[in-house]
Structure formats: C-alpha cells, structure tokens
Structure 1
Amino acid sequence: MNTPIQIPGPLWLIGCGNMAGAMLDGWLAAGLDPAQVTVIRPSGRQPAPGIRTVTVLPEDEVPALLMLGVKPQKLDEIAPGIAPVLERETILISILAGVELAALRSRFPGPRAIVKAMPNLPVGINKGVVELHTDTGDAKARADVEQLMSALGQALWFEDEAYFGLASNLTAAAPAFLYRFLDALAAASAELGLPPAQASRLAALMAEGAAALAATSDETPAQLARRVASPGGTTEAGLNVLDAEDGLRALILRTLEASRRRGQEMAEAARASPKL
C-alpha cells in the first residue's frame, strides 16, 4: 500500500493537459489523496475519480500549492485572475516551457516561493525526471516541492536557470525524440519482414532494458555500445552506418539545438510582455 504523499494543504492545478495530467496520474498512483486536489480547466471534465474539477477559481479555499499547467502562450490570459488569490505562503509551481522565473515573478508578485519544474511524460508511471529551479530561500517550500516531485521519479535541483533549461531540453523533449527513433527502428524491422506489431513491441522492450542498464551501470553509453558490438559482427556493421561522418551525433545536436532555440524564443516572448 502506498504511503500517502504529505502536502501542506490544497493543491490546485490550472489546466490538466497531457503533462499535468500525467503528473496527476503519478501522484495518485503514489498515494496522493484526491480530496486534496482541485483541477481548474475550461472543459470542466474530471481527469480522475474523486478529483474536484471546476471551470472557475474556487472561493472556498486558498491553495497551499498551485501549479500552472496550461500552454505558455496562455500565461497572460490566466495570470490576472490567478494572481490576486495567491497568498504569501502559497507555493507557485510552473511547468510552462520557456517562461523564466523573472517573468513569473512579474505576473505573480504575491507568493514568496515560485518554483519552475520541468517533468517528462514517464512521470505518469512514476519513472519520470523532474528538473527544479527556484530563487527562494524558504527551505520548507523547497522540501515540500521536492517531496511532491520525487514521488514522480527523480527530482533534481538546478541553482542556475540556464542549466535548468539545458537539462529540461534533454529530459522533457528527448522522450519524443526517443519514441521517434523507436518508431523508425520498428518500421525498418517491419520493412525487412518482421510483423509491425511485433516489431514495435520488441523495440519498446529492448529500449526499456537497455535504458535500465545504462542508468545503473558505471560504464558510459559509448562503452556499453562497444560491449554489445563484437569486432566484425552484425552490431558493428550497423554502428558503422550510424557513426559514419558522425551522422547520428550531428543529427542529435541539430535536433536539441532546434528545441533549445524554440525555448529561447518563448522566453523572449514572455520577457517582451507589457507585464514586465
């Protein structure tokens, strides 16, 4: 039986799309009491049994924690209505990609503790990685957020916001890149004759085991690749294609750089708002 997650009071989720919904799934699986959660979303659709779901901000309580889970472009639309209800002790958590801490403080001057968090989709099965960044010195607020996010997998603090952004780019966006690679791997196997459903299943199972080994091994991924590849063997023949002219490395660098550049554009848009 799960030990219930202890939070200091009501948790409000502003928006509950793919990522916020995955986080909620992970928290509920880890033992969070649904009665402590209120979801505010335009549709009013309940994301899980026992979760109070409303279309406007409740007037019967003040949140101890409030998480912004809408699209970053919606920030200036929702901020004016939310800012007045946040007390000094409310912990504001933002999972809005590309929105800097200064941009959040300019819109939400009330809370002492504002925390940026960047989860990835596996938080829904408690196997995620969540980067955290804040400028608050409130040790209890930091501990409360860390305990909540650690229930989703691994929670890591970054004191430098630039490093937070780079790490977020790797762990939050890269699962999509990995899924695309697995899709291509399965499609290629199917083209060579393996039944498509079987190819997809085997690719996913292979990745699960390989990633678990890489996460627990003292060897680097490059060293592990050399362990798999026997000289002159089938694996080495495939690696020779991936390694030709650093093709894979160059492709991944361009991929991550494109993602990072888009994050910078979103940050610049938030800075340019009249709110700042």
Structure 2
Amino acid sequence: MNIFPSPTWLIGCGNMTGALVDGWRSATADFAPVTVVRPSGTPVEGVRTVTSAGQAGPPPRLVVLGFKPQQLGEVAPQLAPYLSAKTIVLSLLAGANAATLRRHFPGAATIVRAMPNLAVAVRRGVTALYSEDAGDTAKAEVSRLFEHLGFGLWTLDEARFGAVGAVAGSGPAYVARFIDALAKGGVARGLSPDTAQAIAVETVYGTGWLAASTRESMDDLARRVASPKGTTEAGLAVLDQDGRLDSLVMEVIDAAAARGTQLGSEVAGSDGLLH
C-alpha cells in the first residue's frame, strides 16, 4: 500500500516514531520511499537507514521530526539545508510550536504538528494535527498517513492541539496506571498478579470496545452496570464522592498541559544533540 510521499525521511526513530513505523508496517505500507536518518546507524527493520541527511538522497517531500524536542536547536541547522521549497515538515516534537518550527525551517513548504499516542502501534491511536499554512494537498498527504493508524483530527488552533495532546497523547500512560491500580485491587482480594492484570486489561479493553460500539454516554454505561444498592454502586459512590475522580483527572491533565507550555520555552532555547 502506497501511503508515503516520495521521498519521506524519518529523522530519529525513538519510541513514538517506532510506534508509527509498527502501525504502518501492520497496515502493510510500502516503505520503499522511506529513509530513516539516525546517527547511531541502528537499523530499522524493513526500512533503509542512514546516519546523516547527506546520505539520504534527493530532498524529501516529507520529513518527520522524531527526536527529542530539546534537540531541535542542534538538529535543525544540520537538516534544513537538505530540504526544499516542496518539503512538508511533520513535527512530533512536544512543545515546539508552529512559529518555532518555521524559524528553524524557513525554506520548507509547509509546517505540520502531529501529536499521536502510543496506540498508533496497533492502529488504534489518536493523533492531533495542526498547521498554519498547509493547503488541501499537503493536508491530504498527511491525513493519508494517519488514517491507517486510528483516529486523526485537524485542530483549529494550537490551544486545541495541546488539549488533545494532554488528553490523548498522555492518556495511555494514565489508563495504564488505572489498569495497574485495578489489578492491585484484585491482588489484594486474593488473585494472583498475572490473573489480576489479565482481568484488569480485558475489563478496560472490553469497556472501551463497548463504549465505541454502542456510542452511549459513560454515565449510561455505568448505570447499566450499577444495580440500585448493589456492589458497583457502592464502589462508584467512593469514586464520585465530592467529584474526587474528576478533580484528580483534571489536576493530572492540567499538570501535563503546564509542562507542555514549559517545554515550549525550553525548546525555543534548546541546544541538544541527535542520538
């Protein structure tokens, strides 16, 4: 399946870029137009890998920035001379806003920010997209990449882009913590750790599938489980007391959003190295 603009460069291949590659591979994407650029030279299975942009070939139509945000100040001067006026810069760098990216890549055709979450690896991810200057053709090319990895949405501004990132981008970590807590509850009631974790994972998976299939509200779904004066209702009363769960989750999301703002300031003055 041909989904990549030709040529496409992946600059760095850490956790998130690796998750994207896993998802595209699962979708049977043709990696022939793709080159991974990573100084370590560590091979990426099924994808041409080189150690520098100078070895990658003709200027890319699409370049994906997949290194640490703090490395932008060092990487951009090495990369920018190899881009052309037709290049789409697709950034996965948290905190690096469109204006910062444009300053680093003034000659690129288009700057696009993307915030996928880890579930793109299994093609059930959520990806926020934002651009100040992408035309219909560029948007279509970028959308084609993410439509095979789950749910992708273009946001109207960077505030909404950040909001999606704070909820969905970080969300798998929060859900993983909840699953772990649910499993620990099972262990405390006598289940083995392996059994408790399997039950917790399947419960969350099944609930998510049910919610996606029925499209009913979360309140309605909870009410379907909670019989009046039953065990589930007793547990929900603890979660719902004084809005404690809602307040905790809001505090978590606010902390992630605040760190995103702080990271943006750090990125603007960063001077890191690409590994």
Fold agreement, TM-score > 0.5: yes
Q: Secondary structure at the match of 2:130?
A: strand
- Kindly state the Cα deviation for residue 63 of structure 1 after the two structures are TM-superposed: 1.3
Matching residue of 1:216: 213
Deviations 1:50-105 (A, max 9, x none): 21112111252221110001111111110100111110111110011111000000
Distance 1:270 1:168 in 2: 17
Correspondent of 2:201 among 190, 199, 204:
204
Letter in 1 for 2:49: T
Distance 1:82 1:137 in 2: 21
Distance 1:127 1:137 in 2: 25
Correspondent of 2:153 among 141, 153, 156:
156
List runs of 5+ in structure 2 lacking aligned partners.
none
Deviations 1:113-162 (A, max 9, x none): 11100000110011111110001242111100001111111110102111
**Higher normalized contact order (CA 8 Å, seq sep 6+, divided by chain length):** 2
Indicate yes or no: 2:121 matched with 1:124. yes
Assess if the C-alpha contact under 8 Å between 2:38 and 2:52 holds in 1.
Answer: yes
Indicate yes or no: 2:22 matched with 1:25. yes
Indicate yes or no: 2:233 matched with 1:230. no
Matching residue of 2:258: 261
Indicate yes or no: 2:91 matched with 1:94. yes
Indicate yes or no: 2:169 matched with 1:172. yes
Letter in 2 for 1:249: D
- Kindly state the Cα deviation for residue 185 of structure 1 after the two structures are TM-superposed: 0.6
- Kindly state the Cα deviation for residue 213 of structure 1 after the two structures are TM-superposed: 1.7
Structure 1 pair 5–202 and aligned structure 2 pair: CA distance change class (3 A): farther
Letter in 2 for 1:222: D
- Kindly state the Cα deviation for residue 164 of structure 1 after the two structures are TM-superposed: 0.8
TM-score, length-scaled by structure 1: 0.94
Distance 1:140 1:200 in 2: 45
Alignment of 1:53-92 (within 5 A): 53-57=49-53, 58-92=55-89
Distance 1:137 1:44 in 2: 32
Distance 1:271 1:73 in 2: 8
Q: Secondary structure at the match of 2:32?
A: helix
Distance 2:57 2:114 in 1: 27
Assess if the C-alpha contact under 8 Å between 1:66 and 1:90 holds in 2.
Answer: yes
- Kindly state the Cα deviation for residue 215 of structure 1 after the two structures are TM-superposed: 2.2
Indicate yes or no: 2:146 matched with 1:112. no
Q: Secondary structure at the match of 1:45?
A: coil
Assess if the C-alpha contact under 8 Å between 2:6 and 2:34 holds in 1.
Answer: no
TM-score, length-scaled by structure 2: 0.94
Correspondent of 1:38 among 20, 35, 39:
35
Structure 1 pair 53–148 and aligned structure 2 pair: CA distance change class (3 A): same
Aligned residues: 270
Identity %: 45
Assess if the C-alpha contact under 8 Å between 1:5 and 1:30 holds in 2.
Answer: no
Matching residue of 2:48: 52
Distance 1:5 1:118 in 2: 22
Matching residue of 1:16: 13
List runs of 5+ in structure 1 lacking aligned partners.
none
- Kindly state the Cα deviation for residue 178 of structure 1 after the two structures are TM-superposed: 0.5
